């Protein structure tokens, strides 16, 4: 559970940062380049576009706590119109979370693939990738989940990756591989979650009982 919670905190932190600072950062970049001949007009237009995109994204986020159909429609429209924006990845993550809350795993997987493709930084890409692997496990696509997790991700996600690998192996009844993966997850964690430790303990007990 702690991994999910950590990911949620990371996503919310990114959202909050861009909501509070995105426009000022963009404005600062524009002003920095405004002195160059020929860039002033271009940068002013770029700033206006980024501000408009930010406002459109905030409108989508506001819908997330209201009518579900309106939120999904607005989110999909935003992604189709702002595919090159970093906000598209955040929007896709939000839509995937909504789909997953209804156990619509197929749709959640589609949104997470979009979130992967649109991710503007390694952290967002890693969140989308690990969530996609979890959804693929829900779909009983265990080998596909393991392939998804073979992507190059930041070292800080190693514990999460290994735990999800363990889940995939366990579903396939590959007990030794599951145990090794869970142990690797614990070794890579600064502080192993109680849930992860419980998975390893339960697996050890299962091995004893089946001998």
Tell whether 64 and 101 lie within a shared domain. yes
Q: Is the pLDDT of residue 32 over 60?
A: no
Distance CA 167, CA 145 (A): 10
Tell whether 31 and 87 lie within a shared domain. yes
Q: Out of 22-26, 88-92, 118-122, which region has the weakest mean confidence (pLDDT)?
A: 22-26
The answer to whether the predicted template modeling score (pTM) of the entire model surpasses 0.85 is no
| pLDDT given for residue 200 in this prediction | 86
Residue 23's pLDDT band (boundaries 50, 70, 90)?
low
The last residue of one of the domains, among 102, 125, 150, is: 150
Tell whether 102 and 128 lie within a shared domain. yes
Residues with Cβ within 8 Å of 211's Cβ and at least 6 positions away in sequence, in order, are none
The last residue of one of the domains, among 128, 150, 172, is: 150
Residue 2's pLDDT band (boundaries 50, 70, 90)?
very low
Domain that holds residue 43: 2-150
Tell whether 163 and 81 lie within a shared domain. no
Tell whether 137 and 173 lie within a shared domain. no
Return the exposure string of 116-135: e unless at least 16 CB atoms fall within 10 Å of the residue's CB, then b.
bebbbeebbbbbbbbbbbbb
The per-residue pLDDT of the chain, averaged, comes to 82
| pLDDT given for residue 1 in this prediction | 44
Residue 153's pLDDT band (boundaries 50, 70, 90)?
very high
Tell whether 56 and 122 lie within a shared domain. yes
Count of structural domains, the chain:
2
Percent of the chain surpassing pLDDT 70: 73
Domain with residue 104: its CATH number is 1.25.40
Residues with Cβ within 8 Å of 61's Cβ and at least 6 positions away in sequence, in order, are 15, 94
Tell whether 12 and 109 lie within a shared domain. yes
Q: What is the dihedral of CA 61, 86, 18, 48, to 10 degrees?
A: -90
**pLDDT tens for residues 174-192?**
999 999 999 999 999 887 6
The answer to whether the beta carbons of residues 179 and 203 sit under 8 Å apart is yes
Tell whether 138 and 180 lie within a shared domain. no
Q: What SS3 class is residue 72?
A: helix
The more confidently predicted of residues 47 and 125 is: 125
| pLDDT given for residue 176 in this prediction | 92
| pLDDT given for residue 208 in this prediction | 53
């Amino acid at each position: 559970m702690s991994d999910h919670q950590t990911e949620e905190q990371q996503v919310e932190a990114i959202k909050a940062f861009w909501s509070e600072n995105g426009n000022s950062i963009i404005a600062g970049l524009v002003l920095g380049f405004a002195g160059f001949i020929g860039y002033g007009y271009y940068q002013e237009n770029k700033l206006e576009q980024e501000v408009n995109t930010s406002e459109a994204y905030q409108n989508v986020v506001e819908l997330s706590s209201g009518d579900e159909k309106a939120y999904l429609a607005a989110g999909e429209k935003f992604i189709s119109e702002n595919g090159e924006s970093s906000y598209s990845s955040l929007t896709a993550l939000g839509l995937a979370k909504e789909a997953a809350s209804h156990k619509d795993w197929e749709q959640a997987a589609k949104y997470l693939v979009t979130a992967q493709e649109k991710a503007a930084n390694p952290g967002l890409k890693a969140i989308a990738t690990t969530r996609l692997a979890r959804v693929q496990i829900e779909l009983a696509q265990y080998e596909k989940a393991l392939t998804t997790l073979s992507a190059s991700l930041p070292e800080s996600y190693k514990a999460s990756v290994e735990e999800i690998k363990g889940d995939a192996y366990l579903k396939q009844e590959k007990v030794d591989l599951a145990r090794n993966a869970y142990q690797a997850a614990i070794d890579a964690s600064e502080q192993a979650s109680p849930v992860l430790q419980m998975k390893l303990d339960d697996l050890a007990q299962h091995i004893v009982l089946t001998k």
